[in-house]
Amino acid sequence: MDGTDLELRRRTYGFFVENGWAPSAAELGDRDSVLAGWRRLHAEHAVVLNADSDELRMLNPFSVVPTAYRVQAGGRWWYGNCAWDAFGICAALHEDGRIATSCPDCGEPLTVEVRDGRPDDESLLFHCLVPAAQWWDDIVFT
């Protein structure tokens, strides 16, 4: 990953965090150049593009599309790609926050307050179904 792609990644994340939505390629510069850069960053797992388009899907730990993991932090609501990423949003923003989701089994709402990086309800459990060696085989499923 060269300096040009790192700079594109920095501007992509910066736009997203400032505005709360993901930029189109044209909003960051020459469309074709930006798309080519995003594709290289996707190949390096530094951003995730939609499988059937060149739109951004994930700016990990943030999800660009709605998910079951909503996070209130830094004065805005975000979506995390999963429970790990939901905590990751607070960590990346260096903000306290609130994670709102539901138990995948029973559907009961679950709300976790995150203060100084720690959850207020320590009784909950995190289950990871896919082994680490396979996480990027299908990152959306993971």
Choosing from 48, 49, 90, 97, the residue that interacts with other proteins (CB under 8 A) is 90
CA distance 78 to 43: 25
Output the smallest distance, CB 24 to other proteins, in A: 21
| Closest of 125, 112, 10, 101 to residue 59, by C-alpha | 10
| Closest of 121, 104, 105, 123 to residue 113, by C-alpha | 121
Place of tokens 């203060």: 115
Shorter beta-carbon distance to other proteins: residue 33 or 134: 134
| Closest of 67, 120, 114, 119 to residue 94, by C-alpha | 114
Shorter beta-carbon distance to other proteins: residue 51 or 129: 129
Choosing from 12, 60, 63, 72, the residue that interacts with other proteins (CB under 8 A) is 60
Choosing from 28, 38, 82, 97, the residue that interacts with other proteins (CB under 8 A) is 82
Q: How many residues bind other proteins (CB under 8 A)?
A: 54
**CB distance 98 to 114 below 8 Å:** yes
By CB under 8 A, the residues from 104 to 123 that bind other proteins are 104-106, 108, 110, 112, 114, 117-119, 121-123
**CB distance 98 to 81 below 8 Å:** no
Output the smallest distance, CB 131 to other proteins, in A: 5
Tokens of 99: 């994670």
Binding site for other proteins (CB under 8 A): 1, 6, 9-10, 13, 17, 44-46, 60-61, 81-94, 99, 101, 103-106, 108, 110, 112, 114, 117-119, 121-134, 136, 142
